[in-house]
Amino acid sequence: MNIYLDMFLTFARIGGLTFGGGYAMLPILQHEVVENKKWATEEELIDYFAIGQCTPGIIAVNTATFIGQKYKGILGGIVATLGVVFPSLIIISLLAGMIEAFSHIAWVQHAFGGIRVCVCVLIFNAVTKLLKKAIIDKFTFVIFLAVTLGSCFSNLSPVIFVIFAAVAGIMIKTLGGKK
């Protein structure tokens, strides 16, 4: 089989089998990319995953681009990334079309009324989980508080807060290190 087609299909399978992205993807990547296809070693995969978390964009997409480009250059990176998002495009388009078609039905609206409550709890859980790793001293607590309040009570774009937080992190660490 053509290597690019193989790459596309393999990453499409990975995307289609991952629920939630991020860490949920790692075991499937290990199985497909390291053990089956041997496109990267275990160490490389862990490296890509770690760097995928500290470069812009969502982790799953970043890791796919990394592996693809490592094995087959720029075109490989693009093909692997398109593969990993392909199942989402199909599945979500089908579901969104169905939901749009049925959204006027009363009981569907009631169901989503209940689901919205669940989404509140899911987001709350996501935040508490992130906080355990993020808040490690008083500076990080202040950054968390400032961004939460700033984002609630202003119309500033998240872009501004992301830039502010990166600069603040570098300044606090650089100045703090010299004490």
Partner 1 sequence: MMLYLQLFYEFFKTGLFTIGGGMATVPFLYKMSDATGWFTYNDLANMIAVGESTPGPIGVNMATYVGFVTGIEQGGLPFAILGAVVATLGLITPSIIVILIIAAFLKSFKDNQYVGFAFYGLRPASAGLIAAAGISVIQSALIFPEYFKDGFNPDGINWIGCALAIVLWLLTNKINKTKKLHPVIFIAFSAIIGIVFSMG
CA–CA dist 64, 55 (Å, integer): 13
Single residue of 4, 22, 30, 32 touching partner 1 by CB under 8 A: 22
CB of 3 or CB of 142, closer to partner 1 = 142
| Binding-residue pattern over the window 76 to 105 for partner 1, x denoting contact by CB under 8 A | -xx--xx-xx-xxx-xxx-xxx-xx-----
In 3D space, the residue among 76, 83, 9 whose CA is nearest the CA of residue 40 turns out to be 76
Q: CA-CA distance, 42 to 25, in Å (whole number)?
A: 14
- What SS3 state is found at 94? helix
Residue 75 contacts partner 1 per CB under 8 A? no
Q: Tokens 């606090």 — which residue?
A: 172
Whichever of 1 and 136 has its CB closer to partner 1, that residue is: 136
Is residue 127 a contact residue for partner 1 (CB under 8 A)? yes
* Smallest gap from residue 141 Cβ to partner 1 (A): 7
Rounded distance, CA 91 to CA 112, Å? 19
Q: Given the rule CB under 8 A, which of 2-10, 32-40, 169-177 is the region that contacts partner 1?
A: 169-177
| Piece of 1-9, 34-42, 132-140 that binds partner 1 (CB under 8 A) | 132-140
165 binds partner 1 (CB under 8 A): yes
CA distance 121 to 126: 9
How many residues bind partner 1, per CB under 8 A? 98
DSSP secondary-structure letter at 26? H
